[in-house]
Amino acid sequence: EPEVTQTPSHQVTQMGQEVILRCVPISNHLYFYWYRQILGQKVEFLVSFYNNEISEKSEIFDDQFSVERPDGSNFTLKIRSTKLEDSAMYFCASRIGLSNQPQHFGDGTRLSIL
């Protein structure tokens, strides 16, 4: 069964450094998402992406964050200058075209900021 894959599984970065989290969505999916989950807290929406542009973003997704689909298969989340509070699990999700169809999630990247 096709699945969303995320790399790396764990990323450790010094505060202030840039980090790029990578996702390969399911191949025929058209909608892409990033969520995050701080340890012990709820899963929170960051951003959605369709047709090469951001569709929606939450208050969390400030100027430090950006997303890109550089080559038609990868979907990346970049954090420009990481802060301690960016430490979290980051989940990528994708969905096929029909709006009521479910989002499918990857297993996440654990980001640890030192």
Partner 1 sequence: DAKTTQPPSMDCAEGRAANLPCNHSTISGNEYVYWYRQIHSQGPQYIIHGLKNNETNEMASLIITEDRKSSTLILPHATLRDTAVYYCIVRLDSGNTPLVFGKGTRLSVIA
- Nearer residue to partner 1 within complex by CB, 18 or 112: 112
13 near partner 1, rule: CB under 8 A? no
Q: Which residue has the tokens 């980051």?
A: 90
17-36: which residues touch partner 1 (CB under 8 A)? 31, 33, 35
Q: What angle do CA 5, 40, 84 make, to 5 degrees?
A: 80
81-110: which residues touch partner 1 (CB under 8 A)? 89, 91, 93, 99-100, 102-108, 110
- Phi/psi of residue 26, nearest 5 degrees: -65, 140
Say which amino acid occupies 62: D
Residue of 45, 26, 33 lying closest to 77 (CA atoms):
33
Dihedral Cα 22, 45, 33, 40, nearest 10 deg: 40
Q: Pattern of binders to partner 1 over 37-76, x per CB under 8 A?
A: x----xxxx--x-x----xx-x------------------
Query: Which residues of this chain interact with partner 1, rule CB under 8 A?
Result: 4, 31, 33, 35, 37, 42-45, 48, 50, 55-56, 58, 89, 91, 93, 99-100, 102-108, 110
